[in-house]
Amino acid sequence: MKTIFGIDLGTTNSCISMLKEGKPEVIAIQDSSLVPSIVSFEADEIIVGLRAKNRQLLHPENTISSVKRIIGSDETVKIGEKLYNPETISSYILSFLKSEAEKVCGKEVKNVVITVPAYFSDSQRRATQKAGEEAGLKVERIINEPTAAALFYKYLQIDEKSETIESNILVYDLGGGTFDVSVLRVGELNEVLATTGNTKLGGDDFDQTIMELCMTRIMREHGIDLRGYKPAEARLKAAAEQAKIHLSHHPYARIEGNLIPNQGNAEIDLFFELERSEFEEMIEHYLEITKKEVGKALSESGLTADQIQNVLLVGGSTRIPAVISLLEGYFGSSCLPPIDPDLSVAKGAAIQGGIITGEHIHQVLIDVNPHSLSASALSYSELVPKVICVPIIPRNTQIPVTRSQIFYTNHDEQQVVKVEVFQGESKEPSENTLIGSLDLKLHPSPAHSPIEIEYSYDLNGIIRVKVEQKGYGAKREVDLDSTLRGQSFLEFDLSIDDEDDFDPDDMDDTQEQDNQVTNYILHKSYDTLNELTSEAEKNTLKALIHDYEKALKGDDEDLVDETEEALVDYIDELKERGD
Ligand code: AMP
Annotation marks residue 103 as catalytic? no
User: How far, in Å, from the CA of 259 to the mean position of ligand 1?
Assistant: 25
The torsion defined by the Cα of 152, 156, 162 and 166, in degrees rounded to 10, comes to: -60
CB of 433 closer than 8 Å to CB of 389: no
* Centroid of chain to Cα 532: 46
**What sign does the dihedral 316-321-326-330 (CA atoms) show?**
positive
Any idea which of 11-15, 315-319, 417-421 has the lowest mean pLDDT? Answer: 417-421
Cross-strand bridge partners of residue 390:
375
CB of 235 closer than 8 Å to CB of 57: yes
pLDDT recorded at residue 480? 67
What is the per-residue pLDDT across 507-525, written as a single tens digit (0 to 9) for each?
344 454 455 566 667 767 7
User: How far, in Å, from the CA of 12 to the mean position of ligand 1?
Assistant: 8
Number of H helices, E strands in the chain: 13, 28
Any ligand 1 atom below 6 A from CB of 241? yes
DSSP string covering 229-297, please? -HHHHHHHHHHHHHHHHHHTTSSEEEEEEEEEEETTEEEEEEEEEEEHHHHHHHTHHHHHHHHHHHHHH
| Secondary structure element (H or E) that encloses residue 435, with its range | strand 433-441
Alpha-carbon distance of 361 to 367, in angstroms, equals 17
Any ligand 1 atom below 6 A from CB of 10? yes
Any ligand 1 atom below 6 A from CB of 317? yes
pTM above 0.85, yes or no: no
Annotation marks residue 233 as catalytic? no
Q: What is the DSSP letter of 430?
A: G
Collect contacts of 375-379 with beta carbons under 8 A, ≥24 apart.
375/405, 375/407, 375/419, 375/420, 375/421, 375/422, 375/453, 375/455, 376/420, 376/422, 376/429, 377/407, 378/410, 378/516, 378/520
Q: Which of 87, 145, 180, 468 is catalytic?
A: 145
**376 or 265: which carries more pLDDT confidence?**
376
Q: Which atom of ligand 1 is nearest to the CA of 248?
A: 20
- DSSP three-state, residue 388: strand
**289 or 418: which carries more pLDDT confidence?**
289
| Secondary structure element (H or E) that encloses residue 438, with its range | strand 433-441
Give the orientation angle of helix 230-247 with respect to helix 203-222, to 10 degrees: 120
pLDDT recorded at residue 507? 38
Q: Which atom of ligand 1 is nearest to the CA of 244?
A: 21
Alpha-carbon distance of 143 to 128, in angstroms, equals 11
What is the per-residue pLDDT across 462-521, written as a single tens digit (0 to 9) for each?
788 888 887 777 888 777 654 444 333 333 222 222 333 333 343 344 454 455 566 667
Q: Which of 87, 122, 140, 173 is catalytic?
A: 173
Distance between first and last Cα of the chain: 66
pLDDT recorded at residue 564? 86
Cross-strand bridge partners of residue 391:
374
CB of 253 closer than 8 Å to CB of 274: yes
What is the per-residue pLDDT across 54-99, written as a single tens digit (0 to 9) for each?
998 889 889 999 999 999 998 999 998 899 999 999 999 999 999 9
Annotation marks residue 562 as catalytic? no
Strand pairing class (387-393; 401-408): unpaired
What is the per-residue pLDDT across 535-562, written as a single tens digit (0 to 9) for each?
888 889 888 988 887 887 778 888 988 9
Strand pairing class (463-469; 450-457): antiparallel
Any ligand 1 atom below 6 A from CB of 238? no
Indicate the residue type of 227: R
Enumerate residues 6+ apart whose C-beta is below 8 A from 177.
11, 12, 66, 68, 69, 199, 200, 201, 202, 203, 204
- DSSP three-state, residue 558: helix
**What sign does the dihedral 266-267-268-269 (CA atoms) show?**
negative
Q: Is the pLDDT of residue 352 over 50?
A: yes
Enumerate residues 6+ apart whose C-beta is below 8 A from 22.
354, 359, 360, 361
Any ligand 1 atom below 6 A from CB of 176? yes
Q: Which of 138, 114, 109 is nearest to 124 (CA)?
A: 114
Q: Which atom of ligand 1 is nearest to the CA of 247?
A: 20
Alpha-carbon distance of 546 to 543, in angstroms, equals 5
pLDDT recorded at residue 302? 94
C-alpha distances in angstroms, 106 versus 17, 48, 95, 139, 569?
14, 21, 16, 20, 77
Alpha-carbon distance of 302 to 3, in angstroms, equals 38
Mean pLDDT score of the chain: 85
| Secondary structure element (H or E) that encloses residue 141, with its range | strand 138-144
pLDDT recorded at residue 514? 59
- 191: confidence class by pLDDT, cuts 50, 70, 90: confident
DSSP string covering 172-222, please? EEE-SS-EEEEEEEESSSEEEEEEEEETT-SHHHHHHHHHHHHHHHHHHHH
Strand pairing class (45-48; 23-26): unpaired
Alpha-carbon distance of 174 to 222, in angstroms, equals 35
